[in-house]
Amino acid sequence: MSETLLQLTAIDKCFGGVTALREARLHVRAGEVLGLVGENGAGKSTLINIATGLFPADSGVILLEGKTMTFANTQQAAAQGVMVVHQEADLFAQLSIAENMLLSRGLVRGPGGLINWRKTNTEAERLVADLGEQFDVNQDAGSLTVARRTMAEIAAAVSTSPKVLFLDEPTASLTVKEIENLFRQIARLKAAGVGIVYVSHRLEEILELCDRVTIMRDGATIETRIKADLTMDGIVSTMVGREMTSSSVKRDVPIGDVRMAVDGLTAKDGSYTDITFDVRAGEILGLYGFVGAGRSEFAQGVFGIEKPVAGSVTIDGQPLKIKTPRQAVAQGLAYLPEDRLVQAVFREHALRTNGSVTVLPRLSTGTVISNRKEHVLARKIMEEMAVKAANMEQPIGTLSGGNQQKVIFGRWAATEPKVLILDEPTRGVDVGAKAEIHKLICDLAERGTAIILISSELPEVMAMSDRVVTLSEGRVTGTFNPREDGEEAIAAAAVPRSAEKVVVALSPLQRGLARALQMRELGLIVFIGLLGGYMCLTNPDSFANTNNFLDILKNAAIPAILAQGAMLIICAGGIDISVGSMMGFVGACAALAVTAGVPAPICLALALVLGMACSLLNGGLSLVARIHPIIVTLAGLSIYRGVMRYAMDGKEIRHLPDAYRAIADGAWLGVPKVCYYVIAISFAVHILLRYTLLGRQILALGNSESAARLIGLSKTKLTLFVFACSGALVGFCGVLKPAYYSSVQANLGEGLELQAIAAAVIGGTNILGGRGSALGTLLGAVLVALLYNSLLLLEASTYWQNIFVGGLILLAVSVDAIVQRLRGSAA
Amino acid sequence: MIKKILDKREVVLFIVLCILFTGFSMNTEYFLDLDSLLSYSRYWVAPGMLAIPMTFIIATAGIDLSVGSIVAMCGIILGVLYRDYQWPIAGACAAAVLSGTAAGAVNGSVSSLLRIPPLVVTLATMTLFRGVAFGISKADAISNFPPAFKYLGHGDLFSFNLNGNPVFVPSALGALLVTVVIGAFILRKTWIGRYTLALGENPVAALYAAIPVHWLTFGIYTACGFVGGVASLFYTSVYGTARADAAMGLELEAIAAVVIGGTRISGGQASVLGTLLGLLIIGILKYGLDLSGVRSQYVVIIVGVLLIVTAVFNEWMARRAGESK
């Protein structure tokens, strides 16, 4: 055939003692589509991640076009032409889809290296159109359907003309039409000599598309065969590699009355629609479907994690009130979730407490837990479930996956549920433990529990279920008897057909509200205008004059400058509440220096450097220790203030030299100098954040740390950069304010951190990071200053000012949270 | 063996405490005067009480920056009701405790219902509650409380003779000890404590394990507000005045005691005994430095540094423990 492009040999990889890959191989040729199949946990994803540079192999060789490669990160791999489109693309939700596509692969830049957004969007549109798609690339990625995100990712990957392209379950959420487009694109790439590795659970697709198929099992590459040698059965038996043993077949137990009946259950986001079925006592109902069929979402809906919008559930004839998991459990429902590490295990807590957590009130008198009862329960779980552990105090995180799962199973069995929903109960569990878990499931059924078994492993579903219900695209597509109907029929019913998911639309009012609240800057201008207008009308003399307006701007200046730095830090996902006292400290040092005869410009430079140093210390400490910046900066708040007082020794610093004062005092063209400064700084930050790659990377980091790592961004560098920027601005303010008032008092900068954060948050910065606006921040600071000024003129006591700052922060973040939720439900 | 003992946080803290104690008693005159030490402890009751609910809050990976402001606000409410509205002192005290509880409920409901990080919520309410204190007091200090009220802060439980000198045990210290015992009991013996730790260890798994996470969060912050209200009574009584700028930086001391005590900022592990030892360390440090003539406004530098150092140390230890597994 054709030449070898990428070759991986003898790849080993361990994660904390668990072997993920053993001597795995992969061999990709130019101009072919190589299928990569295996059960969940067979090691496909790990192999892809190693091939594309996400993490290194423990040992083994990677050859690209005959040359040995070591990829330090995904960007290096991408630069060599090895690219991947991940299954559930981890996106920057608050950045536009166009930016998501092009951020790591080249935003279109114009003169001065500034980003040209118009051309970037056109480019993204073109790429999407190449793939036969058409949608607004300017909308936030978070508001796009998963299918479109996937298509956008594929479009972006294809655009860089890769040599080797990994597609990890690309069709999981696509419709038939989109799949056709994708296949056409794959054929085109193949003709152009690209080596494509196609990972999918959908074996029909593999057989249709691939030239060769590599099959993995338990972390090893079992074999690679050409298409002509392959049948579906052949692939399945190699993948599974073992016959299901007799212990894994469900025992016959008498089937009783209906325990749970589901009628027309529908999710808000359309992930499942009109689900209707029932389960009887002693029965195991297999719920089978592909990734994205809505199985887990359905289970979570019943269990009260995400409330369904329509339909009803009854248990033993009693309508189930679904609001919270607690209510569901109280009414006899139990749910063993799919993702053990994230959704079930308290890693560092003992096996005992992990097992008893669901039944604590039952083990207690009042609120006091009975030690004896808890130990009895823990021992029972260890014995009945055959948990292999040193003792019940062993942290569960140190057990193997199978033993962890048994404890979690015991946790739910202890609630003696009427209905137990098991979501992938044997995922990532070794063969022995798997058989034991199957036995436990049968035991529960024997005692009259109705069981819903969700699994992607068809053989498991076939062997364990009395009945199988297939789900596809969130709808029930059939009910089968696994003893009579064949695997093919069941698999066929589960294959996603077509059709967009039904999304329950937002009411026009909600949508309008969400959109209106998004235009933060405009809203702020209107609000400032209204308040200003009102003040002009009611206080024409004292308010509506140039001096007062300049006063407002002047008062807004220092908080606004600080706020630009605070905003940058917040955008990157951090926070600094010590900027006020840092400003006091730096200001005192600079003023001491200048009164000691150091020339003013040098003092200014000193202040900038000192500010940067303090701020970098904050940022650096939180990075090194991996603790939240709030702790470091909370301590910093006191430390800088204390050091400042020590430096000033209880005295005020007065009579600063004129050269120093000239930095801030005075006016150009009748407008105070500080106003020019604040506008220049805001403009610079605006350019940085909006038009430079660095700025976009800061926002990307704040959006999603994991996705940022995936495209090779350095958290350390970006974090230090924003802290350095903020520090320089803090230093500048530390000079400005004393220079303006010609004195430094012990309370210099006090409370300014709150005003700065308030200005940023009011200006539309997402306090959790990822979104921010320099213009909004400036307007936020002006609004705060205007409010202060108005309160003063209205002769409201100045003592109430704090309430407004605090209240405004609370209001702004609450509005943000509500908007996010409205938009979240729109996606 | 030695390593194992050193891995136990409380032992390390106890050793540190002993070293501090010996150091100060050798270098500072009057340090070993038990009566003045106990008398000084009166000033330490408010932050000490607050460190207990703070232990729970940090155990859930949360934080409450507003506790200092709550104490100030409740003190002002107490004072204004007593002085300007001629409420009986008991009624004013009850109102102060109620307002503290309400303030905590605001923190709890906003962070649990709107799912805004408590850091942000309490940063805002820190300013908000302080603003209320300034607003209703017009920055005026209120004093002249009745003798019965002074007993809270200055009264003594009992006294005994030590080498012929009388030693008085403050009643406020008794209240602090009661808080510690209740806190330790709830954390270790009840499912409330168990749920708290579970929530901090893995909030998603806590939800899936049918723990009422929203109610729990709400309850913990509300309880913290309640304790803040109670602490404000002792604080106001000890200092004899209610001021809007009272209890500045109290949140730092409470948080520092918790973190020094070994409770992880990332949640999931907590020890009330550790917090108590953390309190003692900060308290001894402040007392000793005070006697050595260091001004109290510089002592916050040391508290701050101590907070950072132990936070870094905690994470480092936890990571090392995680890696060795």
d(CA A161, CA A348): 46
Q: Which of A252-256, B256-260, B306-310 has the highest mean pLDDT?
A: B256-260
- Neighbouring CB atoms inside 10 A of A317's CB total 9
- Please give the pLDDT value at position A499: 42
For the ranges A323-332, A653-662, B47-56, B122-131, which has the lowest average pLDDT? A653-662
Q: What is the mean pLDDT of residues A677-703?
A: 92
CB contact at 8 A, B60 and B217: yes
- Please give the pLDDT value at position A245: 46
The counts of H helices and E strands in chain B are 15, 2
Residue A510: band (very low, low, confident or very high) from pLDDT cuts 50, 70, 90: low
d(CA B312, CA B323): 16
- Neighbouring CB atoms inside 10 A of A380's CB total 14
Distance from CA of A120 to the nearest CA of B (A): 34
Here the tokens at position A7 are 């070759």
Sign, CA dihedral A649-A655-A659-A665, equals positive
> Which residues are B142's β-sheet partners?
B242
Q: What is the mean pLDDT of residues B72-79?
A: 96
Residue A286, pLDDT > 80, answer yes
By the CB < 8 Å criterion, does A305 face chain B? Answer: yes
Which chain A residues have a beta carbon less than 8 Å from that of B61?
none
Structure-model confidence comparison of residues A143 and A402, the more confident one? A402
d(CA B171, CA B158): 8
Nearest to A627 among B269, B299, B315 (CB): B315
**Helix (H), strand (E) at residue A469:** strand A467-472
d(CA B32, CA A372): 45
Structure-model confidence comparison of residues A310 and A38, the more confident one? A310
pLDDT tens digits, residue range B235-253?
999 999 999 888 888 999 9
Residue A66, pLDDT > 50, answer yes
Residue A73, pLDDT > 50, answer yes
**Helix (H), strand (E) at residue B233:** helix B213-239
Here the tokens at position B131 are 């603003």
Residue A646 is which amino acid?
Y
Sheet containing A318-319, strands listed edge to edge, beginning at the edge strand earlier in sequence: A275-280, A258-266, A310-315, A318-319
d(CA B234, CA A687): 53
3-state helix vs strand vs coil in chain A, percent to 5: 50, 15, 30
Residue B34, pLDDT > 50, answer yes
Residue A295, pLDDT > 50, answer yes
Query: Quick one: CA torsion of A177, A179, A180, A185, rounded to 10 degrees?
Result: 130
Q: How far is CA A145 from CA A133, A249, A827, in A?
A: 13, 39, 6
- Non-local (6+) Cβ contacts of A554 within 8 A are A672, A674, A675
Of A751, A763, A814, residue with least CA distance to A571: A763
DSSP string, B80-126: HHHHTS---HHHHHHHHHHHHHHHHHHHHHHHHHS---HHHHHHHHH
Q: Cβ separation of B124 and A807 shorter than 8 Å? A: yes
- Neighbouring CB atoms inside 10 A of A193's CB total 14
Helix A752-762 × helix A579-595 angle, to 10°: 130
ipTM of the complex: 0.86
Residue A725: band (very low, low, confident or very high) from pLDDT cuts 50, 70, 90: very high
Residue A267, pLDDT > 70, answer yes
Of A721, A738, A543, A505, residue with least CA distance to A644: A738
Q: Which of A588-592, B29-33, B246-250 has the highest mean pLDDT?
A: A588-592
d(CA B260, CA B252): 12
Nearest to A367 among B125, B190, B297 (CB): B190
Residue A669, pLDDT > 60, answer yes
Residue B300 is which amino acid?
V
Which chain A residues have a beta carbon less than 8 Å from that of B299?
642
Question: B260 exposed, middle or buried (CB, 10 Å; 0-12, 13-18, 19+)?
Answer: buried
Question: A403 exposed, middle or buried (CB, 10 Å; 0-12, 13-18, 19+)?
Answer: buried
Which chain A residues have a beta carbon less than 8 Å from that of B124?
806-807, 809-810, 813
Nearest to B210 among A329, A637, A751 (CB): A329
A96 three-state secondary structure: strand
CA atoms within 13 Å, Cβ hemisphere of A123: 21
**Helix (H), strand (E) at residue A478:** strand A475-480
Question: A72 exposed, middle or buried (CB, 10 Å; 0-12, 13-18, 19+)?
Answer: exposed
- In the block, tokens 């800088």 appear at A640
Q: How far is CA A219 from CA A82, A417, A502, in A?
A: 22, 36, 38
C-alpha angle B197-B199-B205 in degrees, rounded to nearest 5: 125
Which chain A residues have a beta carbon less than 8 Å from that of B129?
806
DSSP string, A268-327: TTSSS-SEEEEEETT-EEEEE--TTSSHHHHHHHHHTSS--SEEEEEETTEEP--SSHHH
- Please give the pLDDT value at position B280: 92
Residue A500: band (very low, low, confident or very high) from pLDDT cuts 50, 70, 90: very low
- Please give the pLDDT value at position A487: 75
Structure-model confidence comparison of residues B32 and A813, the more confident one? A813
- Neighbouring CB atoms inside 10 A of A417's CB total 23
pLDDT tens digits, residue range A226-237?
877 877 777 777
- In the block, tokens 């809203």 appear at A523
Nearest to B209 among A357, A367, A626 (CB): A357
Q: Closest-CA residue in chain A for B298?
A: A642
